[in-house]
Amino acid sequence: MADPDLKEIGLMVGLEVHQQLNTRAKLFCGCPTTIQGGEGHKLQRYLRPSMSELGEVDTAALFEWSRGTRFTYIAPEGCSCLVEADEEPPHGLNREALDVGIAVSMALGSSIVDEIYTMRKIVIDGSNTTGFQRTALVSLGGRIIDEEGEVGILSITIEEDAARRLEEDRTFSLDRLGVPLIEISTAPDIHTPEQAERVAKRIGQLLRLTGKAKRGLGSIRQDLNISIRGGTKVEVKGVQELELIPKVVRNEAIRQMGLLEIRRELERRGVSEEMINFQSKGVDLSEALRESSNKLISAQLRQGGVVMGMKAPKFGGLLGKELGPNRRLGTELADYIRSFVGLGGLFHSDELPKYGITAEEVERVRKILTAEEEDGFVILVGKREKVENGLEVVKARLIQCLKGVPKETRGANDDGTTRFLRPQPGSARMYPETDVPPVRLSIVDMERARLLVPEEPEVKLKKLLKLGLNEELSRIMLNSIHLDLFEELVAKYHPKVPATLIATTMENTLKYIKSKGGDTSRITDEVIEEVMRAVFEDTVTKDSIPEILLEVAQSKLSVNEAIKKFSRLNEDEVTRIVRTAVEKLDNISDERRAFNIAMGNAMEVLRGKVDGKKVAEAVRREIEKRREKDKARG
């Protein structure tokens, strides 16, 4: 598909960046923020849309409710308590997290409110045991400078992270629930995919520079609000890789363009809502396709399921219309029935005959459905009730094609495309969390927070250069997720362990270990710190760092065991080993040759345990000694 000029089509993107904060305690209780998983008590709960306002339940809430609402929660004792189990009211708002929110607001020029109110945002997909997420707005306004223009900040909030979804359906761990998040929402001032990535990077860097950002998979999440002219603001959730952002933005813009083209084409063909309502009726095709060699169809029919079809009037050629890489209108329909009724199989006219469904069978289906050449059709397979509901969903989605781009919340796929998750909630329904007292910000609060205001990247860069890092390494470090660990270690061990060594260990050595197939997740902050301390205390040489870390990453050795393995030999031992190597030489007449051989033999034993330079010195010394001995003898 040709890459359109996205600025031309009125691309508008807003970002919502969510970053977990590395505070001592969770946002509303005393639990640690380490997301350690593990076993725990199992709780089974139901969530229901609020009862007292049945007339006004919002669409997203109703959607979740209709899918059945029994959830299972695992409550690991080490990192969840009665507050996460929704068995105790929340404690006061964590001030350490609030301080970060204020500091980031200051850095972005946002106006901080005078009194902070915690709100409850209704979420009943099970990810919060309460059925709502607690969130507090800290500031409004502000901006980020970007080369393609300023991007406004809408709001900065502090909120609790949701429970962690486990593999089993509707099952969550409470370990992550309540971990503080800072959310930064930008205005839809972003106009190119690349700008979206740049701004996300800039925000991520700013958050890391506070020194309070968590690291690791899932610690930062980007949501994107994407629209094009004539389209709809679609929310794309959970983009974890920054590099994926431009792709997601582009694909979503293309999808919206495609949907608008479909709308124009349907208009041209004179399709109306009444036409779809009147002509799109479910028809049982079980008999017509009983002999089909399609595996899904024959399996479902054997198990008592049905095959049903429905005409899509004048949709011929449109169901297969490409809406992005490997995405067609048919894929959208399949997403919908999967989400709404949990049904897997959908076939549509533009992809048939295929999958074992023959041309003859397609003709038969067309006849039964009275679908002409210009019409399309879909076939669903499964239990009767699900199939019937699925056809209703398909019909509703077809009608939406007449309107253009539906208002949806979509999830990002790994390939940069997106899939339908759920309809977007109406205006987010929020009401006050009366269990948490409001926080009136004082001058003292503001001054305490000011200490956390991240430095400007340029200022930071200068500091890194001053520590002896070269320009390239400084820039890498500035953008590194390890920046806070780097600073911590520099404060402790620099200059005896040079900052450059610490930086290259984090940035280059870890890459080397990965390239060797090592498991870098075993190289925790603690491991890096232990190794640096060992260098600082002269227990090991700096040359042995890669070997030690590789040992830890590859084997099941603990870092202390690995350090022991490479621990520095004392001078006497080095001298003894070098002397043996020199004494083994048959002659030392060719000094250069003698040195090379002795050095090679000594290093075989000493590599990684002693600086090469020191070995060389010892070899020279020992050759000199032997020469004198030989002379004395000779």
**What's the closest the beta carbon of residue 129 comes to another protein, in angstroms?**
6
- CA-to-CA distance for 329 and 348, rounded, in angstroms? 10
Question: Minimum distance between the CB of residue 135 and another protein, rounded to whole angstroms?
Answer: 8
Instruction: Give yes or no for a contact between 433 and 134, defined as CB atoms under 8 angstroms apart.
Output: yes
Length of the chain equals: 634
Contact status, residue 110 vs residue 435, Cβ threshold 8 Å: no
Beta carbon nearer to another protein, 85 or 489? 85
Which residue number, 46 or 278, has a Cβ lying nearer to another protein?
Answer: 46
Task: Give the nearer residue to another protein in terms of CB position, either 133 or 474.
Answer: 133
| Interface positions with another protein (CB under 8 A) | 41-54, 61, 70, 82, 85-89, 111, 113-117, 119-122, 124, 129-132, 135-137, 140-141, 154-155, 157, 427-434, 438, 440
Q: Which is nearer to another protein, 120 or 198 (CB)?
A: 120
Question: To the nearest whole angstrom, how small is the minimum distance from the Cβ of residue 142 to another protein?
Answer: 10
At closest approach, how far in Å is the CB of 51 from another protein? 5
Return the axis-axis angle of helices 483-493 and 471-478, rounded to nearest 10°. Answer: 120
Q: Which two tokens stand for residue 382?
A: 């499964």
Q: Closer to another protein by CB, 111 or 508: give it.
A: 111
Q: Per the structure block, which two tokens stand in for 116?
A: 């902070």
Task: Pick between residue 119 and residue 510 the one whose CB is nearest to another protein.
Answer: 119
Residue with Cβ nearer another protein (27 or 510): 27
Q: What is the number of other CB atoms lying within 10 angstroms of the CB of residue 424?
A: 18
Nearest approach, Cβ of residue 139 and another protein (Å)? 9
What single string gives the DSSP state of each residue in 9-70? TT-EEEEEEEEEB--SS-SSSS----------EEEEEE----GGGGGG--HHHHHHHHT--E
Distances (CA, A) of 609 to 565, 567, 571, 616: 9, 6, 11, 14
Distance from C-alpha of 401 to C-alpha of 395, rounded to nearest angstrom = 10
C-beta of 56 vs 617, nearer to another protein: 56
CB of 162 to another protein, least distance (A): 14
Rounded least distance, CB 119 to another protein, Å: 6
Matching residue, tokens 């972003």: 190
Give 325 or 432: the residue with its C-beta nearer to another protein: 432
| Closer CB to another protein, 41 or 516, in the complex | 41
**Dihedral, 255, 258, 264, 265 alpha carbons, nearest 10:** -140
Helix and strand numbers (H, E) in the chain are: 21, 24
Give 4 or 141: the residue with its C-beta nearer to another protein: 141
Pairing of strands 234-239, 408-412: parallel
Give the shortest CB-128-to-another protein separation in angstroms: 8
Specify the DSSP element, H or E, that contains 71. Answer: strand 70-75
Please, what is the minimum distance in Å from the beta carbon of residue 108 to another protein? 13
Q: E-strand spans in 228-330?
A: 234-239, 282-284, 306-312, 322-324, 327-328
Measured from the CB of residue 225, what is the shortest distance to another protein in angstroms?
Answer: 13
Q: Output the smallest distance, CB 12 to another protein, in A.
A: 18
**Least distance in angstroms from the C-beta of 40 to another protein:** 12
Nearer to another protein, 66 or 508 (CB): 66
Give CA–CA dist 86/64, Å, rounded. Answer: 20
Q: Which is nearer to another protein, 157 or 509 (CB)?
A: 157
CB of 87 to another protein, least distance (A): 5
Give long-range contacts, CB 8 A cutoff, 24+ apart: 142-147: 142/105, 142/108, 142/109, 142/110, 142/111, 143/108, 143/109, 144/108, 144/186, 144/199, 144/202, 144/203, 146/195, 146/198, 146/199, 146/202, 147/198
The distance of closest approach from Cβ of residue 241 to another protein in the complex, given in angstroms and rounded to an integer, is: 28
Residue 143 has φ and ψ, to the nearest 5°, of -160, 160
Contact present, 213 and 180 (Cβ < 8 Å): no
- By CB neighbour count within 10 A (0-12 exposed, 13-18 middle, 19+ buried), where does 232 fall? middle
Distances (CA, A) of 263 to 231, 258, 270, 330: 11, 9, 10, 15
User: In 3D, which of 239, 245, 142, 137 has the Cα closest to residue 187?
Assistant: 142
The amino acid present at 455, given as its one-letter code, is: E
| Shortest distance (Å) from residue 65 CB to another protein | 9
Q: Which long-range contacts (C-beta less than 8 Å, at least 24 apart) are formed by 324-331?
A: 324/1, 324/251, 324/254, 324/255, 324/258, 324/417, 325/251, 325/415, 325/416, 325/417, 326/415, 326/417, 327/251, 327/255, 327/417, 329/258, 329/262, 329/401, 330/378
By the 8 A CB rule, do 338 and 344 touch? yes
User: Considering beta carbons, is residue 3 or 447 the nearer one to another protein?
Assistant: 447
Residue nearer to another protein on the CB measure, 118 or 400: 118
DSSP 8-state secondary structure symbol assigned to residue 94: -
CA–CA separation, 124 and 132 (whole Å): 7
What is the C-alpha separation between 470 and 466, in angstroms, rounded? Answer: 9
